[in-house]
Amino acid sequence: MSAPEIRPFAPADAAGAAALLSPLVAPDYPVTAAAVLHLVRAADPGDGAWWVAEAGGEIVGWAQNERQYSARGGGVQRVWAAVRPDHRRRGLGGRLFEAAEKLALSKHPCMLRSWAVADQPDGARFLRAHGYEHRRTDRLWALDPATVDLSDLPRREREAASAGYSLAPLRDGSVVVLAGDEPVALAWLYVDRKRGLAGNAMTGTLREHRHRGLARLAKLATMRWAVGHGIRRIATGNDSTNRDMLALNQHLGYLPLPDFEVFARAP
């Protein structure tokens, strides 16, 4: 059997890449061809690169390098590689990761970051062998939105309105809380309608508007939308030290998934 070919990602690879990544990231997370294309197309020119490994006409490996936009100063580069289980332990993961890391290092970052899923120990072992150290843990959760008690949502909307807040949709599924015309809180969903899955892209509130129940209000509103549109699972993740969001997720009935472990190393 010939070795898989590693080449740059092309738009025609999106469906195959999604089929590869969906079970490797987390089965409850919606990884679709559209999501893969958005990941690639949303990056600023020069800020990201993606590769696939192809064998027998199928996508069996993936690698990516991208700037971490949320990091202050823009000096953090993210690198990651994944290989289909039946093609592992043949050096393919190392070849893919090397391509992503080499490009990341050429940008002279202050730090490299990568990640692994806790119930897939090969990933953590691989990163440690390449000099990466565990830095933090993200908690992953999922729930069936039909199990959430939404009976209190109308009252919460009325109370928010009396305090000057209103809900506004951000395309289908996502919700923004406004104070007048200013967005002050949000709960975003990305959705795989075909499989009935959704993921919380982000939930949060501006500091000066916190402790007023606005994040909960927005999140409950997305769940109401999800129930009405046939979504059977919503997945989410948050830093294991974010006590407020951990408490909110537990109260809403999210059940834990395997943790998401973040690794880093100096260049």
**Each residue's pLDDT tens digit, 22-59:** 888 777 888 999 999 999 999 888 899 999 999 999 99
Instruction: Tell me: do 21 and 124 sit in the same domain.
Output: yes
Instruction: Tell me: do 189 and 212 sit in the same domain.
Output: yes
Residue 247 lies in a domain: no
Number of domains in the chain: 2
Instruction: Tell me: do 217 and 172 sit in the same domain.
Output: yes
State whether the Cα torsion 113-115-121-126 is positive or negative: negative
Instruction: Tell me: do 130 and 190 sit in the same domain.
Output: no
Q: In sequence order, what are the beta bridge partners of 138?
A: 239, 260
Model confidence pLDDT, tens digit, residues 133-153: 999 999 889 999 999 999 999
The torsion angles phi and psi of 214, rounded to 5 degrees, stand at -75, -40
Model confidence pLDDT, tens digit, residues 61-88: 999 999 998 777 769 999 999 999 999 9
Instruction: Tell me: do 182 and 64 sit in the same domain.
Output: no
How far is 7 from 193, CA to CA, in rounded Å? 30
pLDDT number for residue 44? 86
Strands 111-117, 76-83: pairing is parallel
Crossing angle between the packed helical segments 33-42 and 14-25, to the nearest 10 degrees: 100
Helices (H), the chain: 14-25, 33-42, 92-105, 121-129, 153-162, 214-228, 243-252
pLDDT number for residue 261? 94
pLDDT number for residue 1? 61
Instruction: Tell me: do 72 and 177 sit in the same domain.
Output: no
Q: Which two tokens stand for residue 247?
A: 């408490």
Instruction: Tell me: do 87 and 195 sit in the same domain.
Output: no
How far CA 45 is from CA of 29, 42, 218, in Å, comes to 27, 9, 33
- CATH number of 92's domain: 3.40.630.30
- Mean predicted confidence (pLDDT) in 95-103: 97
Model confidence pLDDT, tens digit, residues 235-246: 998 888 888 888
Instruction: Judge contact between 82 and 75, C-beta under 8 A.
Output: no
Q: Contacts by 38-47 with C-beta closer than 8 Å and gap 24+?
A: 40/9, 40/11, 43/67
How far is 202 from 174, CA to CA, in rounded Å? 10
Per-residue pLDDT band for 118 (boundaries 50, 70, 90) equals confident
Virtual CA dihedral for 188, 203, 245, 70, nearest 10 degrees?
Answer: 120
Instruction: Tell me: do 48 and 20 sit in the same domain.
Output: yes
Higher-scoring residue by pLDDT: 119, 148: 148
Q: Who's near 18: CB < 8 A, 6+ residues apart? A: 31, 32, 33, 35, 36
Residue 129 lies in a domain: yes
Per-residue pLDDT band for 119 (boundaries 50, 70, 90) equals confident
Range of 114's domain? 5-137
3-state SS, residue 30: coil
Burial zone of 87 (CB within 10 Å; 0-12 exposed, 13-18 middle, 19+ buried): middle
Instruction: Tell me: do 153 and 131 sit in the same domain.
Output: no
Residue 183 lies in a domain: yes
Return the amino acid letter for 163. Answer: A
3-state SS, residue 16: helix
Model confidence pLDDT, tens digit, residues 202-250: 899 999 999 999 999 999 999 999 999 999 999 998 888 888 888 888 8
pLDDT number for residue 34? 92
Instruction: Judge contact between 60 and 83, C-beta under 8 A.
Output: yes
pTM for the full predicted model: 0.85
